[in-house]
Amino acid sequence: MFQRFLGDRNGRKFKARSAGRDAETDLARLTSIFDAIDEVLRSAEAELSGLTRRVDDALARASVTGGNDSDEYLTRDAVDEHYLDRLGSEISRGQRRLQELSTNIAHFKFLKATAVSRFPGFRPLSQSDVAPPPNLTSRNTT
C-alpha cells in the first residue's frame, strides 16, 4: 500500500539528489554571490580612485587660477570668475560622488562580511576585505 505513495501521479518514484550534487549547486550559488560582490567592490574602488585623482587635480587648478593675494577676487576678470565658478561646481559634484562611493563601498564590504558569517563553511577565493570566521574549510576549485 505504501508503495503507491512513493511515486507521483505518473508513476515516477521520488528520488532526492545526492549530497555531492547538492553541495555543488550550493557552491555555485554562493560563488556567484561572492563573485558579484567582489566585482562591485573592485568597480567602486576603481571609480573612487580615479575620481579622487580628478578632484585633486581640479582643486590644484582652482587654487592656481584663484591666486593667492587676499584681494585678488576684486580684480579678477569675468572669464576667470566664470571658470572658477564652473570648477567649483564640478569639484562639489565630485566630492559628493566621492562620499557616495565611500558609503557604498562600506555597504558592499558589510554585505560580504555578512555573507561570510551566514555561510561559515564557505570561503570565497578573495578574502582581502573580510576576516575569515573560525574553522572554515577551503573551497576546492579543482
Strand partners, 7: 13
Amino acid at the residue 91: I
Tens digits of per-residue pLDDT, 76-90? 677 777 778 888 899
On whether the pTM is more than 0.85, the answer is no
In a domain, 12, yes or no: no
Q: Does 11 fall in a domain?
A: no
Question: How far is the C-alpha of 66 from the C-alpha of 80, rounded, in Å?
Answer: 8
Residue 128 domain-assigned (yes or no): no
**Structural domain containing residue 40:** 18-118
Q: What is the pLDDT of residues 91-124, one digit of tens each?
A: 999 999 999 999 999 999 999 999 989 988 887 6
Q: Is residue 6 part of a domain?
A: no
Is 138 a member of any domain? no
Any domain includes 131: no
The owner of cell 577565493 is: 125
Examine residue 142 and state whether it is found in any structural domain, yes or no.
no
Total domains in the fold of the chain = 1
